[in-house]
Copies of this chain bind each other. A is one copy, B any other.
Amino acid sequence: MVTMKDVADRAEVSIATVSFVVNGTKRVTEATRERVEAAMRELGFARNPIGAALARGRTRILAMLFPALERPLSLTASAFFTSASRRARHRGYDLVMWPIGNDAEQIAVLARSGLVDGVLLMEVQLEDPRVAALVEHKVEFAMIGRTADPSALPYVDIDMSSSVEAAYAQLIAEGHEDIAFLASASPAYDHALVWRAMRAYREVTERHGHPTTLIACDEMPGDGRRIGERFAADYPDTTAVIILNEHAAPGLVAGLTHAGLDVPADVSLVSLGSSAYMAEMTEPQLTYMRTPGTELGELGLDALVDRLEDTQGPLPQVLLPCELVPGGTVAAAGPRRTPRRA
Protein backbone atom coordinates (compact mmCIF):
# COMPACT_ATOMS: atom_id res chain seq x y z
CA MET A 1 0.00 0.00 0.00
CA VAL A 2 1.49 3.31 -1.12
CA THR A 3 1.20 6.03 1.52
CA MET A 4 1.15 9.83 1.38
CA LYS A 5 4.63 9.72 2.91
CA ASP A 6 5.90 7.71 -0.08
CA VAL A 7 4.39 10.28 -2.43
CA ALA A 8 5.84 13.17 -0.40
CA ASP A 9 9.32 11.59 -0.51
CA ARG A 10 9.16 11.00 -4.26
CA ALA A 11 7.84 14.51 -5.01
CA GLU A 12 10.19 16.10 -2.48
CA VAL A 13 7.41 17.97 -0.70
CA SER A 14 5.91 17.75 2.77
CA ILE A 15 3.18 15.26 3.65
CA ALA A 16 0.93 18.26 4.29
CA THR A 17 1.39 19.38 0.69
CA VAL A 18 0.47 15.93 -0.61
CA SER A 19 -2.61 16.05 1.59
CA PHE A 20 -3.56 19.46 0.17
CA VAL A 21 -3.37 18.06 -3.33
CA VAL A 22 -5.18 14.84 -2.51
CA ASN A 23 -7.93 16.46 -0.48
CA GLY A 24 -8.14 19.78 -2.25
CA THR A 25 -8.10 21.42 1.16
CA LYS A 26 -5.70 24.19 0.22
CA ARG A 27 -4.33 25.58 -3.01
CA VAL A 28 -0.80 24.77 -4.10
CA THR A 29 1.05 26.08 -7.14
CA GLU A 30 0.45 24.35 -10.47
CA ALA A 31 4.09 23.20 -10.57
CA THR A 32 3.83 21.58 -7.13
CA ARG A 33 0.50 19.98 -7.94
CA GLU A 34 1.94 18.51 -11.10
CA ARG A 35 4.98 17.13 -9.25
CA VAL A 36 2.76 15.53 -6.61
CA GLU A 37 0.39 14.07 -9.19
CA ALA A 38 3.29 12.69 -11.22
CA ALA A 39 4.63 11.00 -8.06
CA MET A 40 1.16 9.61 -7.31
CA ARG A 41 0.96 8.18 -10.80
CA GLU A 42 4.46 6.72 -10.72
CA LEU A 43 3.89 5.03 -7.37
CA GLY A 44 0.36 3.92 -8.17
CA PHE A 45 -1.05 5.89 -5.24
CA ALA A 46 -4.80 5.37 -5.03
CA ARG A 47 -6.05 8.91 -4.70
CA ASN A 48 -9.67 8.07 -4.29
CA PRO A 49 -10.26 5.16 -1.93
CA ILE A 50 -13.89 5.86 -1.35
CA GLY A 51 -13.90 5.23 2.40
CA ALA A 52 -11.26 7.85 3.03
CA ALA A 53 -12.88 10.20 0.54
CA LEU A 54 -16.23 9.95 2.28
CA ALA A 55 -14.64 10.25 5.70
CA ARG A 56 -13.37 13.66 4.72
CA GLY A 57 -16.54 14.41 2.83
CA ARG A 58 -14.81 14.75 -0.53
CA THR A 59 -14.75 12.35 -3.45
CA ARG A 60 -13.13 14.73 -5.97
CA ILE A 61 -15.79 13.56 -8.41
CA LEU A 62 -17.93 16.17 -10.16
CA ALA A 63 -21.08 15.54 -12.15
CA MET A 64 -22.18 17.31 -15.31
CA LEU A 65 -25.96 17.11 -15.46
CA PHE A 66 -27.45 16.74 -18.91
CA PRO A 67 -30.98 15.57 -19.76
CA ALA A 68 -29.63 12.63 -21.77
CA LEU A 69 -32.66 10.48 -20.95
CA GLU A 70 -34.83 12.95 -22.82
CA ARG A 71 -32.63 13.65 -25.80
CA PRO A 72 -29.20 12.89 -27.23
CA LEU A 73 -26.28 15.23 -26.78
CA SER A 74 -25.49 17.48 -29.68
CA LEU A 75 -21.91 17.68 -30.85
CA THR A 76 -21.78 21.07 -29.15
CA ALA A 77 -22.92 19.62 -25.81
CA SER A 78 -20.40 16.86 -26.25
CA ALA A 79 -17.67 19.45 -26.77
CA PHE A 80 -18.65 21.07 -23.44
CA PHE A 81 -18.25 17.71 -21.73
CA THR A 82 -14.90 16.99 -23.36
CA SER A 83 -13.35 20.31 -22.47
CA ALA A 84 -14.77 20.37 -18.94
CA SER A 85 -13.54 16.78 -18.38
CA ARG A 86 -10.05 17.64 -19.49
CA ARG A 87 -10.02 20.70 -17.28
CA ALA A 88 -11.30 18.62 -14.34
CA ARG A 89 -8.49 16.10 -14.78
CA HIS A 90 -6.04 18.98 -14.89
CA ARG A 91 -7.33 20.32 -11.58
CA GLY A 92 -7.27 16.92 -9.93
CA TYR A 93 -10.94 15.96 -10.26
CA ASP A 94 -12.92 13.48 -12.33
CA LEU A 95 -15.97 14.74 -14.17
CA VAL A 96 -18.71 12.27 -15.06
CA MET A 97 -21.89 12.90 -16.98
CA TRP A 98 -25.02 12.21 -14.99
CA PRO A 99 -28.21 12.04 -17.05
CA ILE A 100 -30.53 14.28 -15.03
CA GLY A 101 -32.79 16.75 -16.75
CA ASN A 102 -35.87 18.41 -15.43
CA ASP A 103 -35.99 16.35 -12.24
CA ALA A 104 -35.55 17.69 -8.71
CA GLU A 105 -36.12 14.24 -7.23
CA GLN A 106 -33.08 12.78 -8.95
CA ILE A 107 -31.06 15.70 -7.61
CA ALA A 108 -32.13 14.71 -4.11
CA VAL A 109 -30.95 11.14 -4.69
CA LEU A 110 -27.64 12.40 -6.05
CA ALA A 111 -27.18 14.80 -3.13
CA ARG A 112 -27.99 12.21 -0.47
CA SER A 113 -25.59 9.72 -2.04
CA GLY A 114 -22.65 11.97 -1.23
CA LEU A 115 -20.95 10.65 -4.35
CA VAL A 116 -20.06 13.95 -5.95
CA ASP A 117 -18.45 17.09 -4.59
CA GLY A 118 -20.19 19.42 -6.99
CA VAL A 119 -22.35 19.74 -10.04
CA LEU A 120 -22.14 21.48 -13.41
CA LEU A 121 -25.58 22.17 -14.90
CA MET A 122 -26.18 21.97 -18.64
CA GLU A 123 -29.34 22.95 -20.56
CA VAL A 124 -30.43 25.45 -17.94
CA GLN A 125 -34.08 26.44 -18.00
CA LEU A 126 -35.60 29.78 -17.02
CA GLU A 127 -37.12 28.21 -13.91
CA ASP A 128 -34.90 25.20 -13.35
CA PRO A 129 -36.12 22.79 -10.66
CA ARG A 130 -32.60 21.39 -10.40
CA VAL A 131 -31.27 24.72 -9.12
CA ALA A 132 -33.76 24.89 -6.25
CA ALA A 133 -33.00 21.26 -5.37
CA LEU A 134 -29.24 21.85 -5.38
CA VAL A 135 -29.63 24.88 -3.13
CA GLU A 136 -31.94 22.96 -0.81
CA HIS A 137 -29.53 20.04 -0.52
CA LYS A 138 -26.50 22.32 -0.19
CA VAL A 139 -24.67 20.91 -3.21
CA GLU A 140 -22.13 23.29 -4.75
CA PHE A 141 -22.84 23.94 -8.42
CA ALA A 142 -22.16 26.18 -11.38
CA MET A 143 -24.35 26.65 -14.42
CA ILE A 144 -23.42 26.58 -18.08
CA GLY A 145 -26.41 28.75 -18.92
CA ARG A 146 -28.59 31.08 -16.85
CA THR A 147 -31.96 30.90 -15.13
CA ALA A 148 -34.39 33.83 -15.42
CA ASP A 149 -32.69 35.60 -12.51
CA PRO A 150 -29.12 34.36 -12.16
CA SER A 151 -27.86 37.42 -10.25
CA ALA A 152 -26.88 35.48 -7.13
CA LEU A 153 -25.77 32.27 -8.88
CA PRO A 154 -22.44 31.18 -10.38
CA TYR A 155 -22.60 30.81 -14.16
CA VAL A 156 -20.86 30.93 -17.50
CA ASP A 157 -23.03 31.44 -20.56
CA ILE A 158 -23.22 32.59 -24.15
CA ASP A 159 -23.83 36.32 -24.50
CA MET A 160 -26.90 35.73 -26.61
CA SER A 161 -28.02 39.35 -26.99
CA SER A 162 -24.79 40.50 -28.60
CA SER A 163 -24.63 37.33 -30.72
CA VAL A 164 -28.12 37.86 -32.15
CA GLU A 165 -27.27 41.51 -32.80
CA ALA A 166 -24.13 40.51 -34.67
CA ALA A 167 -25.95 37.93 -36.83
CA TYR A 168 -28.68 40.43 -37.61
CA ALA A 169 -26.17 43.20 -38.42
CA GLN A 170 -24.41 40.88 -40.85
CA LEU A 171 -27.67 40.40 -42.79
CA ILE A 172 -28.81 44.03 -42.58
CA ALA A 173 -25.49 45.02 -44.08
CA GLU A 174 -26.37 42.91 -47.14
CA GLY A 175 -29.68 44.72 -47.58
CA HIS A 176 -32.00 42.13 -46.00
CA GLU A 177 -35.09 43.36 -44.16
CA ASP A 178 -37.42 40.39 -43.75
CA ILE A 179 -35.06 38.26 -41.68
CA ALA A 180 -36.69 35.26 -40.00
CA PHE A 181 -35.55 33.66 -36.77
CA LEU A 182 -35.71 29.86 -36.66
CA ALA A 183 -35.40 28.51 -33.12
CA SER A 184 -35.44 25.10 -31.47
CA ALA A 185 -38.89 23.99 -30.47
CA SER A 186 -38.76 21.61 -27.56
CA PRO A 187 -42.11 21.38 -25.82
CA ALA A 188 -40.64 19.55 -22.82
CA TYR A 189 -37.96 22.12 -22.35
CA ASP A 190 -38.17 25.80 -21.58
CA HIS A 191 -34.63 26.53 -22.66
CA ALA A 192 -33.34 29.80 -21.24
CA LEU A 193 -30.87 30.35 -24.08
CA VAL A 194 -33.60 30.14 -26.73
CA TRP A 195 -35.82 32.47 -24.73
CA ARG A 196 -33.04 35.09 -24.44
CA ALA A 197 -32.28 34.78 -28.15
CA MET A 198 -35.90 35.33 -29.15
CA ARG A 199 -36.14 38.35 -26.87
CA ALA A 200 -33.01 39.82 -28.47
CA TYR A 201 -34.39 39.10 -31.95
CA ARG A 202 -37.67 40.85 -31.17
CA GLU A 203 -35.81 43.86 -29.83
CA VAL A 204 -33.56 44.23 -32.85
CA THR A 205 -36.38 43.83 -35.40
CA GLU A 206 -38.47 46.43 -33.54
CA ARG A 207 -35.57 48.84 -33.39
CA HIS A 208 -35.10 48.57 -37.16
CA GLY A 209 -38.83 48.54 -37.89
CA HIS A 210 -38.42 45.24 -39.76
CA PRO A 211 -40.80 42.28 -39.75
CA THR A 212 -40.61 39.70 -36.96
CA THR A 213 -40.89 36.21 -38.44
CA LEU A 214 -40.51 33.39 -35.91
CA ILE A 215 -40.16 29.79 -37.10
CA ALA A 216 -40.19 26.90 -34.61
CA CYS A 217 -38.34 23.75 -35.60
CA ASP A 218 -37.62 20.42 -33.90
CA GLU A 219 -34.00 19.65 -33.18
CA MET A 220 -33.75 17.26 -36.13
CA PRO A 221 -32.37 17.80 -39.65
CA GLY A 222 -35.57 16.31 -41.06
CA ASP A 223 -37.67 19.12 -39.61
CA GLY A 224 -35.31 21.75 -41.05
CA ARG A 225 -35.68 19.93 -44.35
CA ARG A 226 -39.47 20.08 -44.28
CA ILE A 227 -39.38 23.82 -43.52
CA GLY A 228 -36.95 24.32 -46.42
CA GLU A 229 -39.16 22.42 -48.84
CA ARG A 230 -42.19 24.60 -47.99
CA PHE A 231 -40.23 27.82 -47.55
CA ALA A 232 -41.23 29.57 -50.78
CA ALA A 233 -44.91 29.08 -50.04
CA ASP A 234 -44.83 29.70 -46.28
CA TYR A 235 -42.46 32.69 -46.19
CA PRO A 236 -42.74 34.36 -49.61
CA ASP A 237 -41.15 37.66 -48.53
CA THR A 238 -38.38 36.36 -46.30
CA THR A 239 -34.91 36.61 -47.82
CA ALA A 240 -32.75 35.56 -44.86
CA VAL A 241 -32.91 33.29 -41.81
CA ILE A 242 -31.00 33.30 -38.53
CA ILE A 243 -31.02 29.68 -37.32
CA LEU A 244 -30.63 28.90 -33.61
CA ASN A 245 -30.87 25.15 -34.08
CA GLU A 246 -27.66 23.55 -35.22
CA HIS A 247 -29.39 20.24 -35.93
CA ALA A 248 -31.87 21.79 -38.36
CA ALA A 249 -29.44 24.00 -40.28
CA PRO A 250 -28.01 21.40 -42.73
CA GLY A 251 -31.49 19.98 -43.26
CA LEU A 252 -32.81 23.45 -44.06
CA VAL A 253 -30.13 23.89 -46.74
CA ALA A 254 -31.02 20.46 -48.16
CA GLY A 255 -34.73 21.28 -48.17
CA LEU A 256 -34.28 24.67 -49.83
CA THR A 257 -32.00 23.10 -52.46
CA HIS A 258 -34.45 20.28 -53.04
CA ALA A 259 -37.25 22.82 -53.60
CA GLY A 260 -35.15 24.64 -56.19
CA LEU A 261 -34.21 27.66 -54.11
CA ASP A 262 -30.60 28.76 -54.28
CA VAL A 263 -28.63 29.37 -51.09
CA PRO A 264 -27.58 32.16 -50.79
CA ALA A 265 -28.95 33.85 -53.96
CA ASP A 266 -32.58 33.29 -52.91
CA VAL A 267 -32.21 32.81 -49.16
CA SER A 268 -29.28 33.82 -46.97
CA LEU A 269 -28.58 31.81 -43.82
CA VAL A 270 -26.61 32.43 -40.62
CA SER A 271 -26.38 29.46 -38.23
CA LEU A 272 -26.17 30.90 -34.71
CA GLY A 273 -24.44 28.80 -32.07
CA SER A 274 -22.84 26.19 -34.26
CA SER A 275 -19.47 24.72 -35.14
CA ALA A 276 -17.15 23.92 -38.04
CA TYR A 277 -18.42 20.36 -37.76
CA MET A 278 -21.96 21.33 -38.78
CA ALA A 279 -20.90 24.11 -41.16
CA GLU A 280 -18.78 21.81 -43.34
CA MET A 281 -21.68 19.44 -44.00
CA THR A 282 -23.50 21.65 -46.47
CA GLU A 283 -22.86 23.01 -49.93
CA PRO A 284 -22.22 25.90 -49.75
CA GLN A 285 -20.62 25.83 -46.33
CA LEU A 286 -22.67 27.52 -43.64
CA THR A 287 -21.89 31.01 -42.46
CA TYR A 288 -22.11 30.55 -38.70
CA MET A 289 -21.54 32.08 -35.29
CA ARG A 290 -19.33 29.71 -33.34
CA THR A 291 -20.44 28.53 -29.90
CA PRO A 292 -17.47 29.02 -27.58
CA GLY A 293 -17.97 25.47 -26.30
CA THR A 294 -14.40 24.63 -25.38
CA GLU A 295 -13.98 27.91 -23.57
CA LEU A 296 -17.30 27.66 -21.70
CA GLY A 297 -16.61 24.05 -20.70
CA GLU A 298 -13.30 25.06 -19.15
CA LEU A 299 -14.62 28.23 -17.55
CA GLY A 300 -17.64 26.39 -16.17
CA LEU A 301 -15.44 23.75 -14.60
CA ASP A 302 -13.18 26.44 -13.17
CA ALA A 303 -16.19 28.29 -11.78
CA LEU A 304 -17.31 25.14 -9.97
CA VAL A 305 -13.89 24.16 -8.64
CA ASP A 306 -13.17 27.73 -7.54
CA ARG A 307 -16.41 27.63 -5.56
CA LEU A 308 -15.46 24.31 -4.00
CA GLU A 309 -11.99 25.41 -3.04
CA ASP A 310 -12.84 28.92 -1.89
CA THR A 311 -16.47 29.47 -1.01
CA GLN A 312 -15.66 33.07 -0.02
CA GLY A 313 -14.19 33.99 -3.41
CA PRO A 314 -15.91 36.23 -5.95
CA LEU A 315 -19.04 34.81 -7.61
CA PRO A 316 -18.06 33.60 -11.11
CA GLN A 317 -20.34 35.17 -13.72
CA VAL A 318 -18.98 35.09 -17.26
CA LEU A 319 -20.59 35.81 -20.63
CA LEU A 320 -18.89 35.02 -23.95
CA PRO A 321 -20.26 35.99 -27.38
CA CYS A 322 -20.43 33.70 -30.40
CA GLU A 323 -17.89 34.62 -33.04
CA LEU A 324 -18.83 35.04 -36.72
CA VAL A 325 -17.16 32.57 -39.11
CA PRO A 326 -17.83 33.49 -42.76
CA GLY A 327 -19.03 30.74 -45.08
CA GLY A 328 -20.95 30.74 -48.33
CA THR A 329 -24.56 31.21 -47.20
CA VAL A 330 -24.83 35.01 -46.98
CA ALA A 331 -25.31 37.19 -50.06
CA ALA A 332 -26.87 40.53 -50.92
CA ALA A 333 -30.67 40.63 -50.77
CA GLY A 334 -32.30 40.45 -54.17
CA PRO A 335 -35.76 39.65 -55.48
CA ARG A 336 -36.62 36.06 -54.68
CA ARG A 337 -36.43 33.97 -57.86
CA THR A 338 -39.12 31.51 -58.79
CA PRO A 339 -38.08 28.10 -57.54
CA ARG A 340 -37.10 25.71 -60.31
CA ARG A 341 -39.08 22.75 -59.01
CA ALA A 342 -41.06 23.93 -56.01
Of residues 242 through 267 on chain A, the ones whose CB sits less than 8 Å from some CB of chain B are: 247, 250-251, 253-255, 257-258
Identical chains bound together, number = 2
Contact B282–A250 (Cβ < 8 Å): yes
- Of the 9-residue stretches A104-112, A196-204, A332-340, which lies at the interface with chain B? A104-112
State the A residues within 8 Å of B (CB). Answer: 41, 44, 46-51, 53-54, 59, 61, 63, 68-69, 71-75, 78-79, 81-82, 85-86, 89, 94-99, 105, 108-109, 112-115, 220-222, 225, 247, 250-251, 253-255, 257-258, 276-278, 280-285
Cβ-defined contact, A277 with B69, below 8 A = no
CB<8 Å pairs between A and B, sample of 22: A48-B112, A49-B113, A50-B113, A59-B113, A68-B82, A69-B89, A71-B82, A72-B81, A73-B73, A73-B75, A78-B78, A81-B97, A82-B99, A95-B99, A96-B98, A220-B277, A220-B280, A221-B277, A221-B278, A225-B280, A250-B250, A257-B283
- Do residues A82 and B69 form an inter-chain contact, with CB atoms below 8 A? yes
Contacts of A255 in B (CB 8 A): 283
Select which of B59, B82, B99, B257 is within 8 A of A115 by beta carbon.
B59
Instruction: Let me know if B221 and A112 touch, CB within 8 A.
Output: no
CB-based contact A250/B85 at 8 Å: no
Are A81 and B95 interface neighbours, CB within 8 A?
A: no
A109 near B46 with CB under 8 A, answer yes
Partner of A222, one of B47, B78, B276: B276
Give me the 4 closest cross-chain CB pairs, A-B, nearest first: A250-B281, A72-B78, A97-B97, A254-B283
Q: How far apart sit A225 and B285, CA to CA, in the bound complex (Å)?
A: 10
Asked if B108 contacts A44 (CB within 8 A), the reply is yes
Choice from B89, B112, B221, B247 contacting A49 with Cβ under 8 Å? B112
CA distance A85 to B225 in the complex (A): 30
Cα–Cα, bound, A82→B101 (Å) = 12
Chain B residues in 8 Å Cβ range of A82: 68-69, 71-72, 99
Instruction: Give every chain B residue within 8 A of A79 (Cβ-Cβ).
Output: 72
